[in-house]
Amino acid sequence: MKALTRYALLCSTVATLSACAGSGMDTNALLDSGTKVAQAATLTDADMRTLTAQSCQQMDAKSQIAPAGSTYVKRLNNISKGLPTEIAGQPLNFKVYQTKDVNAWAMANGCVRVYSGLMDMMTDDEVRAVLGHEIGHVALGHSRKAAQTAYGVAAARGAVGALGNSTVSALSKSQLADFGEQFVNAQFSQKQESQADDYSFDLLKQKGYNPQALVSSFQKLATLDGGKSSIMSSHPSSTDRAKHIQQRIANGK
């Protein structure tokens, strides 16, 4: 990350803390929190892999994972055959969370999770298209930025400590859980979502799958109540995204 970007983040943090100083809040605590937020922008790739690996492990521990041999796992094994086996040197590992929630996400360490609620409403091709989109966020660097933001939010809340040479690897289970929740609920920009959509579209075409499944997956997501679906609350209009992919199909590229 460029020094100017780190400087801008730090200045923004200091400005916020200064504004709070006159409100009777503990400025020492705020300044400490501000330092942690600024440090989040300097997380290295190694920090990110460690942080996401441990956070994913904690997310798995508190979730109901579909057992081997279940219908969900058999379906996911078949679906994942059409997806990359690694991203940026990190092997991908897939699991199903048994929950009625409709969601899917991927982390920088190669952790890919899909919720059974999403699998229940979609065909195999549609699930593959959604997972291609989530993997795209990792491949395009969006997940790294989201993880930095998630760490910064957790730091501002006092949920994680200041960064040191071993701090990331020494976070408690509750701190890792807080980071994981912040990451899963992180919002990507409209541009990032469009880029991840295009990544999935290109992947499906390259692997010989019908990209129309990406369109139909968006159409199904568009029918959901945004307040009940995590994947909808953090994504732009599914209808618009379906139209974009349909246009690419019509154009043949």
- 96-113 burial: b if 16+ Cβ within 10 Å, else e: bbeeeebbbbbbbbbbbb
Helix (H, G, I), strand (E, B) or coil at 126: helix
Q: Which of 253, 199, 187, 252 is nearest to 226 (CA)?
A: 187
| Residue 157 and residue 37 in contact, taking contact as beta carbons nearer than 8 Å | no
134 is catalytic: yes
Give backbone dihedrals phi and psi of 92, rounded to 5 degrees, phi first.
-85, 140
Burial of 89 (0-12, 13-18, 19+ CB in 10 A): exposed
Task: Report the run of H or E that residue 209 belongs to, with start and end.
Answer: none
- Spot the catalytic one: 86, 126, 134, 181: 134
Q: What's the Cα-to-Cα distance from 130 to each of 102, 105, 124, 234, 249, rounded to whole Å? A: 11, 9, 10, 14, 17
Catalytic (active-site) positions: 134
